[in-house]
Structure 1
Amino acid sequence: MVLDTPRPIAAILHWRVTWFLARLALVSAYLLGGVVKLTDWQGAVAEQAHFGLQPAALFAALTIAAELVGPALILLDRLAWLGAGMLGVFTLLAAFVANDFWTMQGQERFMATNAFFEHLGLVGGFVLVAIVSLQRAHRDA
């Protein structure tokens, strides 16, 4: 049996503000991270060095760019596929660099495994943003 979405839920899902708030929720941590790194350059460079990324300043600049440009494209719903791709690739790379659970034991492994798969869930969210943005563009054309 196929169940239709209840009308009140469908109405909420069709609101433009819902589309914007969902995208804002998805990218909020990236926006905050980009602003914090931009205002604490030394901390941003130190973070990259901590993860063994060299030259740390270059990786800090690339991280800040991804964390600010990607969300802007998604929130503006202009080239959302590009912003989603930027953040999806960034998030996937970060998952492997920062959450290498396969090298850990005990509680550390448990926590890193959870974080790794949370990152994969975010990647899926970015793919969905690109899909929905494309569908909305075709619908509105």
Structure 2
Amino acid sequence: MARPGRDPRFVDAILDWPPTWFLARLLLVSAYLLGGLVKLTDWPGAVAEQAHFGMTPPALWAALTIAVELAGSALLLAGRLVWLGAGALGVFTLLAACTANAFWTMPAGPERFMATNAFFEHLGLIGGLVLAALVSELEAGRDRRRA
């Protein structure tokens, strides 16, 4: 039975289970990992995607996108410089959302509705990245106090 003001025991067990933090970070960066790997294995498609969004030169932007998606994800998964990986992915996500989901430039209708939802979903993802960086900093502070 849950104790007042405390998490139920099964929640404590999940949150205290060592792989939970890694799995949460893996879920958070899964879209970036997949996106970076797909772009890496389909270079012409990656360049075409950047050209579609008006990014010039598209090959440079494709390379930068791949680098940020894979390097940022790797930093979060490794638990090293999480603030840097989360920050890079957060800035990338904000720029991508503004480029690909500029709902404020669209007339009312289903496309604007979908772009609005996608834009705010991306903001939520940025919030998750900020939370990952905060948790990482809290863990690092706790480790420093123990030393």
Amino-acid identity (%): 72
| Alignment counterpart, residue 52 of structure 1, candidates 42, 51, 54 | 54
TM-score, normalised to structure 1, is: 0.96
> With structure 2 as the length reference, what TM-score do the two structures score?
0.92
Matching residue of 1:90: 92
- The answer to whether structure 1 residue 115 and structure 2 residue 118 are counterparts is yes
User: How many Å apart are 1:76 and its aligned residue?
Assistant: 0.3
Partner of 2:129: 126
Displacement of 1:7 in angstroms is 2.1
Alignment correspondent of 2:138: 135
Q: Which runs of 4+ in 1 moved over 4 A?
A: none
Distance 1:98 1:118 in 2: 13
The residue that corresponds to 2:44 in the other structure is: 42
Q: CA RMSD in A?
A: 1.0
Give, in angstroms, the shift of residue 52 of structure 1. 0.4
Unaligned 5+ segments in structure 2 are none
User: Which of these two proteins has the greater Rg computed from alpha carbons?
Assistant: 2
1:5 CA displacement: 1.4
Shift of 1:140: 2.0
Aligned pair count reads 140
Alpha-carbon offset, residue 88 of structure 1: 0.4
Q: Which residues of structure 1 form unaligned runs of 5+?
A: none
